[in-house]
Structure 1
Amino acid sequence: MDIVIITTIIASLFLLIGAAEPLAARLRLPYSVILAVLGILIGAGAIFFLQTDLTDALNPAAEAILGLPIRSNVFLYVFLPTLLFQATLGMNLGRMLDDWVPILLLAVVAVVVATVSVGYALSWASALPLTACLLIGAIVSTTDPSAVVSIFRSISAPRRLARIIEGESLLNDAAAISLFGLFMGFVMLGVPDPDLGEALARFPWLILGGAFTGWLLARCAVWIMALFSRFELAQLSVSIALPYLAYIGAEQVAGASGVIAVVAAGLTLNLTAPGRLPPQSWAMMRELWDVLAHWAGALIFILAALLIPRLLEEIRLTDFVLVGVVVVAAIAARMVILFGLLPLLSTLKLSPVVERPYRVAILWGGLRGAVTLALALAVTESFRVPDGIQRVVGILATGFTLFTLVVQGTTLRPVISWLGLDRLSPIDEALSRQVVAVALQTVREDVARTTDNYDLSHEIVRSEAKRFGERLDRAVKQAEESADILDRDRITLGLIALAGHERDVILSRVRERTISARMADQVLSTAESLIEGARTQGRNGYQRAARRSVAYGRPFRVRLRLHDWFGLAGPLARMTADRFELLLSQRLILRDLGPFIDGRIRRIHGRRVADLLQELLSRRIEAVETALEGLRLQYPGYAEELERRFIRRTALRLEEREYVAMRDDGLIGAEVHTALMQGLNARRAAIESRPDLDVRLQRVALVRQFPLFADLDEAALKRLGRALTTWYVDAGEVIIRKDSPARSVAFIASGAVELTAAGQTWRLGRGEMFGQMAVLSSRPRRAEVRAIAPTTLLVLDEERFRRLLERSETLRQAVRESANARGIDPSALLPDNVAST
């Protein structure tokens, strides 16, 4: 085919892609539906002009269109890795993990249920072998959620809902294509009734092999990118190669799922690259992949739609009945998941609640698209599949795709409107009126200042002021009519606004590079959790999300056990260092939120709500300070290093701002500015790497480091190391309760604790002890001791502690100092033979 014609066709397709988006917005239809319609029209037009006698002038163009090398492998090996890889790079993995139950349910369980339902329904309604029916079921079980996600975003639906659908789309294709590969093999081998148990037994290798391949290649890619840290274009080139090598390596070498390999590679890059690459490189990479995925998604829709007229050329009347069977079975299977299993899991507290209107929207928004057509095309291309099965698979998959695009796609927005998802709630409506009133008052003040600064005509000023005043009076009247919003609702709306402003502050800090790219996703995830918590559960949801942001979760406890049981210090050290940096970032951000409350929120919601929000903010700051203090007590030197690093980064940001201002003012030229920025970037790269944190614990070595045991000889230290027992406690756990019997003394090996007694509070850190007062006085404990950080304690029973006290002057001096600090006479605690020494 002539290269000129091919280039012209491809350029024309990009022109159509550019026109499709504004056309979809004007017609209020999903973008994918417009692309599919354009593709069908082009394909049908090409066939028409080749078969008609009206004119031969367009025959070369029609032949070129129909002769495009559109094969299933083009979709699966070129376009699909691009779409999957970009989706994983744009994911907020922390928030995805919060909804992993509904995501896996829709992505994996729903695919299996749809495959089986459609397969057995077709087997009952037709004479096709069961393997062919299950193959069709696997083909039509893939969904394209882009339409419903875009509509949810346009109506400000909960982010969690869009996140669930996006997560489904990521894993949905992997599950469906894996099932497709299994049943395609049975059809080509001529197996009429497959053993489903045997087929599903091959799943683990498809998943695990693909995941390992993707992880390994992504780790290698990150290592190579880190070597190219000064060459952004080289890093982008490596990222382009990664998904395709992962897909081909898994499919052709490992015999595993290429889709899983691409997903695993993208997730690995998403988790590891922000901490290894410069922030600007990571931002450029995500922007590049956004553009590539947009083009790939559009091209795959148009090119696949070009094939629809060809696939439907041999359609028969009975095929319409079978398409109806597929439609009913697929929708019924999805209904079982959305209205049966998902509410059951919500009742059992295994999944967040998804409200009924949103479940209806998800049901009707389960459009099929290019992946379904690509898989059907793969069947029609295979010479090992019988001709009769090729024809039916192509027609049923294409017919079902057309139904979802033409019927569901065109009616999705009216369905969402009927469900009321596009209307503001009464609270939001009342809030919008108040916001308009406050905003117009501010605008009037600013306009008044502007007219004073410029010599404007008084007649124009008076007429515009009168016109603006009438609008303001109407807004104020409407706001007064809706002033009966409950304080509880005002607090909820204020918290949502506060969390939204917190997200804006985070983005601003990331752009200024005050917060590292490594921490950006985590602090943004916290802000989104706060928004969702406030939106769904009000003040309680906000506070619960705030507590989770500083709590030690299950991943930390897993790493702690790996360290304690197997001596693996690396994972624990990295997570502890991340926590250090995260808390420092949170403290920085929270201190910027007070003026927003006193300004915007006070004007919109009033003084009472603003004061309450200030109190909640103060509690968050106190919780962050407490958690940070616990880490400082545990690793004092490391906290200082991180704070120095923050100061240096802030200084570099201010220095960069000065250089930009001088360039903009014309004080320095572009060449000088470039040279200055090169030196600044070199200094910035030098401080980007975070200092290492050593959390390794060896009991005897640790005992040697205790200042309290400094005067013991080597033999005594070894005996003491054998006598001490190790006790691990989590943050917030009560170690000693008041009035409990005193039988042991604890030495803090790592972590920090808080003692509360008689209305006073003390905090102790690494190298200090507690419990000695109660043991020596032989009375019940008067203090409650609580861990404020994950803490490792070395515990010594009462008898051994008394013997140790007799041998160690350093320990006796520590007891005396502790007693004096609490106003207790040391001679009343130490035995006579000990007190006198």
Structure 2
Amino acid sequence: MGRQPGEFGIGMMSAISWIGGSSVIEWSIAQQTSLDSNSAVDTQTAATIPEVVIILIILLLIATIVALVTQSLRIPYVTGLVLAGLPITELWSRRIGLDPVLVLNLFLPILIFEAAINTDIRRLRSTFKPIALLAGPGSIFSSAVIATLLKFGLGLDWISACLVGVILANTDTVSMIAVFKEIRVPSRLTTIVEGETLFNDAAALVSFNLLLVVYATGSLTAVQGIREVLLVAIGGAMVGAVLGYLCLPIFVRLQDPLSSLLLTVALALGTFQIGQSLGVSGAVSVVVAGLIFGNLGLSRSSSASERIALLSFWNYASFGVNTFIFLLIGIEINIETLWKIAPAILFVILAYQLGRILSVYLLLAGLRWFDRPIPLVWQHVLFLGNIKGSLSMALALSIPLTVTYRSDIIALVFGAVLFSLVGQGLSLPWMVKRLKIARISDTLQQAKQLQMQLIASKAAQEELSSLLRSGVLPKAIYEELWASYQVRVVQSEHVLRDLYNQRQSTRREPEHSELDAIRRRLLLAEKGAVANALRKQILPEDLVQTYIKELDEKLLTLEDD
């Protein structure tokens, strides 16, 4: 006897069907009201603006209190926001919540662009293989595992099960990065986590839209699916590249930091909208545009203050967006309702954790055949940081009303996100500390302080040169100030050279691994130079391939940074 729509294999049909009937999962205030005339719109807008402002003020005050409490209790800020938002649903007389249109068209581009402009392409390139493995095949494999378990465990149809799989295979690492800011971890691991998130969001949106195409058309061959994915992804990358490069000459000519800020906002939001309107991935477009602007545009800025202003603005924008998102996640979730379907939610949690375990440990085990292997303890962190967030909820809410199990999917996703943010979010800092990923010795601590002093002094000297060229400083004052910084540079370089020589004469220890980052950059520079000479036919291929093989062997001997 076949299952009816909404009937779960573990007997949760009545509870979840009640969710859809009682409209517990509602849209935001803006979506609850429909008006019939322009005059009515004006009247309603005038009446609700003060109310919206009051709501924003209250949410900001709540966020401030949460920040104070989480700092004293030493728990993740985003987890505190979710917990603070849970009781608001019962206290507020008017329903507010996540608007998926707002999240996907405003919040998501801001978060992606901020992450992209702060991502170093050189470091991204050095960790591209594990990132591509996790964000590509890893995401697909995890989605397939989740979908299969939900299909046979909860009785969902394949489309609904695959939608949940894609939604929960996406990893939101805001909490994970917040932990990394408090606990020092190897920079390569941080780059892998940030890079996976950057491309995972785009991959989730592409896969989600592809499933909706399958649902709408009724069928899609493998060739058509691959062609559609490549068209959307490559097309999005091309749109982002074109818009990113077009903004560079405009940015260089702008002398006003405020105008530069407006340009970056237009680039982030405009790239997403243009990509979507052209039928390609807006998320991929924003990723590429952000990478180009962050790595090629900011370096062309003539003023250090302008670069600081831009980065600070996007840091504040990202922080503000995350604050509202995680508060609204807490407000959107109804604990009483989710408690009634706890067994089904628990099954979903086990499914997405199993999918993550298999995708991380199995796929990264084969990485050693074509790239530096990922240490097992790092793989533990990648699994433990499998936290879900706003994108998962936004995708669930944006599922078409005609999908049979829509209310079921929303309830299950919300329950999984709540467990992820609270359960894993609270335990992640403790677990990362227990794993003892980064052991900091006194020598390495001294080296990092000297590097910081060296970097700061060199930057100050560059700024002094810029002021001299622009006529702001007379040459006598320039030489005096430049000399004072040069003393610090020479002292730092001298001590660093001694530490490096000492490092070469002693046994290699894990805590000294960050000193190998300098050698790695030099070896990569050599590799890029000879490869470029080969492309220009300056050097013969046999000599170049032998030399590159030697460089690769040296790179593999270096400690992970």
TM-score normalized with structure 2 length: 0.75
How far the C-alpha of 1:377 sits from its partner, in A, is 1.0
How many residues align structurally? 463
2:379 paired with 1:363: no
Give the match for residue 552 of structure 2: none
Give the match for residue 217 of structure 1: 243
Q: 1:256 to 1:498 in 2, by over 3 A?
A: same
Is the CA contact 2:171–2:387 (under 8 Å) kept in the aligned structure 1?
yes
Give the match for residue 116 of structure 1: 144
Report the Cα distance in structure 1 between the residues aligned to 2:390 and 2:211, rounded to whole angstroms.
20
How far the C-alpha of 1:261 sits from its partner, in A, is 0.4
Is the CA contact 2:530–2:544 (under 8 Å) kept in the aligned structure 1?
no
2:371 paired with 1:345: no
Q: 1:156 to 1:131 in 2, by over 3 A?
A: same
- Report the more deviating stretch, 408-417 or 388-397: 408-417
Q: Deviation per CA, 1:291-339: give whole Å up to 9, x if none.
A: 1111011112222332222xx786695x434323321221112112332
Give the match for residue 408 of structure 1: 424
Task: Give the AA of the match of 2:450.
Answer: H
Gaps of 5+ in 2: 1-46, 467-495, 548-561
2:124 paired with 1:96: yes
How far the C-alpha of 1:233 sits from its partner, in A, is 1.4
Report the Cα distance in structure 1 between the residues aligned to 2:465 and 2:370, rounded to whole angstroms.
35
Structure with greater helix percent? 2
Equivalent runs, 1:572-583 vs 2, <5 Å: none
Is the CA contact 1:132–1:187 (under 8 Å) kept in the aligned structure 2?
no
Equivalent runs, 1:434-449 vs 2, <5 Å: none
2:313 paired with 1:293: no
Q: Deviation per CA, 1:608-628: give whole Å up to 9, x if none.
A: xxxxxxxxxxxxxxxxxxxxx
Report the Cα distance in structure 2 between the residues aligned to 1:332 and 1:515, rounded to whole angstroms.
55
How far the C-alpha of 1:539 sits from its partner, in A, is 7.4
Report the Cα distance in structure 1 between the residues aligned to 2:118 and 2:451, rounded to whole angstroms.
20
How far the C-alpha of 1:417 sits from its partner, in A, is 4.3
Is the CA contact 1:114–1:329 (under 8 Å) kept in the aligned structure 2?
no
Find the residue that maps to 1:328 and give its secondary structure.
Answer: helix
Task: Give the AA of the match of 1:40.
Answer: L
- Say which of 86, 97, 101 aligns to 2:114: 86
Q: 1:551 to 1:75 in 2, by over 3 A?
A: closer
Is the CA contact 1:144–1:169 (under 8 Å) kept in the aligned structure 2?
yes
Is the CA contact 2:139–2:359 (under 8 Å) kept in the aligned structure 1?
no
Give the match for residue 619 of structure 1: none
Report the Cα distance in structure 2 between the residues aligned to 1:288 and 1:502, rounded to whole angstroms.
26
How far the C-alpha of 1:267 sits from its partner, in A, is 0.4
How far the C-alpha of 1:244 sits from its partner, in A, is 0.7
- Say which of 165, 170, 176 aligns to 1:148: 176
Q: Deviation per CA, 1:544-577: give whole Å up to 9, x if none.
A: 8437427644443454455459xxxxxxxxxxxx
Find the residue that maps to 1:202 and give its secondary structure.
Answer: helix
- Say which of 375, 378, 388 aligns to 1:354: 375
Give the match for residue 389 of structure 1: 405
Q: 1:45 to 1:196 in 2, by over 3 A?
A: farther
Task: Give the AA of the match of 1:406.
Answer: V
2:357 paired with 1:335: yes
Task: Give the AA of the match of 1:200.
Answer: I
Give the match for residue 3 of structure 2: none
Q: Deviation per CA, 1:128-174: give whole Å up to 9, x if none.
A: 22011101111111112122222233222222222221111111111
- Report the more deviating stretch, 203-212 or 503-512: 503-512
Is the CA contact 1:102–1:351 (under 8 Å) kept in the aligned structure 2?
no
Q: 1:130 to 1:196 in 2, by over 3 A?
A: farther
How far the C-alpha of 1:23 sits from its partner, in A, is 1.8
- Say which of 510, 513, 522 aligns to 2:459: 510
Q: 1:238 to 1:314 in 2, by over 3 A?
A: same
Task: Give the AA of the match of 1:363.
Answer: F
2:441 paired with 1:501: no
Is the CA contact 2:534–2:541 (under 8 Å) kept in the aligned structure 1?
no
2:212 paired with 1:187: no
Task: Give the AA of the match of 1:30.
Answer: P
How far the C-alpha of 1:251 sits from its partner, in A, is 0.6
Is the CA contact 2:143–2:162 (under 8 Å) kept in the aligned structure 1?
yes
Task: Give the AA of the match of 1:344.
Answer: G
Find the residue that maps to 2:86 and give its secondary structure.
Answer: helix
Report the Cα distance in structure 2 between the residues aligned to 1:329 and 1:195, rounded to whole angstroms.
27
Q: 1:38 to 1:502 in 2, by over 3 A?
A: same
Report the Cα distance in structure 2 between the residues aligned to 1:541 and 1:414, rounded to whole angstroms.
24
Give the match for residue 53 of structure 2: 7
Q: 1:564 to 1:731 in 2, by over 3 A?
A: closer
Is the CA contact 2:531–2:544 (under 8 Å) kept in the aligned structure 1?
no
Is the CA contact 2:66–2:77 (under 8 Å) kept in the aligned structure 1?
yes
Find the residue that maps to 1:353 and give its secondary structure.
Answer: coil
Find the residue that maps to 1:2 and give its secondary structure.
Answer: helix
How far the C-alpha of 1:516 sits from its partner, in A, is 9.2
Is the CA contact 2:170–2:392 (under 8 Å) kept in the aligned structure 1?
yes
2:392 paired with 1:372: yes
Find the residue that maps to 1:351 and give its secondary structure.
Answer: coil
Q: 1:362 to 1:26 in 2, by over 3 A?
A: farther
Report the Cα distance in structure 2 between the residues aligned to 1:540 and 1:231, rounded to whole angstroms.
41
Is the CA contact 1:131–1:194 (under 8 Å) kept in the aligned structure 2?
no
How far the C-alpha of 1:188 sits from its partner, in A, is 4.0
Is the CA contact 2:117–2:295 (under 8 Å) kept in the aligned structure 1?
no
Give the match for residue 30 of structure 1: 76
Find the residue that maps to 1:278 and give its secondary structure.
Answer: coil
Find the residue that maps to 2:405 and give its secondary structure.
Answer: helix
Find the residue that maps to 2:87 and give its secondary structure.
Answer: helix
Report the Cα distance in structure 1 between the residues aligned to 2:207 and 2:199, rounded to whole angstroms.
13
Structure with greater strand percent? 1
Is the CA contact 2:142–2:359 (under 8 Å) kept in the aligned structure 1?
no
Is the CA contact 1:117–1:137 (under 8 Å) kept in the aligned structure 2?
yes
Gaps of 5+ in 1: 47-61, 432-492, 518-526, 566-725, 735-837
Report the Cα distance in structure 2 between the residues aligned to 1:93 and 1:371, rounded to whole angstroms.
25
Q: 1:516 to 1:324 in 2, by over 3 A?
A: farther
Q: 1:99 to 1:502 in 2, by over 3 A?
A: same
- Say which of 205, 215, 219 aligns to 1:177: 205
Q: Deviation per CA, 1:95-118: give whole Å up to 9, x if none.
A: 222211222222222211121111
Equivalent runs, 1:563-574 vs 2, <5 Å: 563-564=536-537
- Say which of 276, 287, 297 aligns to 1:263: 287
Equivalent runs, 1:475-494 vs 2, <5 Å: 493=443
Report the Cα distance in structure 2 between the residues aligned to 1:516 and 1:392, rounded to whole angstroms.
63
Give the match for residue 775 of structure 1: none
How far the C-alpha of 1:212 sits from its partner, in A, is 0.8
Report the Cα distance in structure 1 between the residues aligned to 2:79 and 2:517, rounded to whole angstroms.
41
How far the C-alpha of 1:349 sits from its partner, in A, is 5.3
Relative CO higher for 1 or 2, CA cutoff 8 Å, sep ≥ 6? 2
Q: Deviation per CA, 1:569-589: give whole Å up to 9, x if none.
A: xxxxxxxxxxxxxxxxxxxxx
2:248 paired with 1:226: no
Is the CA contact 1:368–1:404 (under 8 Å) kept in the aligned structure 2?
yes
State the superposition RMSD in angstroms.
Answer: 3.2
- Say which of 289, 293, 308 aligns to 2:333: 308
Q: 1:30 to 1:537 in 2, by over 3 A?
A: closer
Give the match for residue 519 of structure 2: 546
Greater C-alpha Rg = 1
Is the CA contact 1:509–1:515 (under 8 Å) kept in the aligned structure 2?
no
TM-score normalized with structure 1 length: 0.51
Report the Cα distance in structure 1 between the residues aligned to 2:535 and 2:515, rounded to whole angstroms.
32
Report the Cα distance in structure 2 between the residues aligned to 1:541 and 1:131, rounded to whole angstroms.
47
Report the Cα distance in structure 2 between the residues aligned to 1:541 and 1:20, rounded to whole angstroms.
35
Report the Cα distance in structure 2 between the residues aligned to 1:403 and 1:117, rounded to whole angstroms.
20
Q: Deviation per CA, 1:251-274: give whole Å up to 9, x if none.
A: 11x211111000000001022113
Task: Give the AA of the match of 1:410.
Answer: L
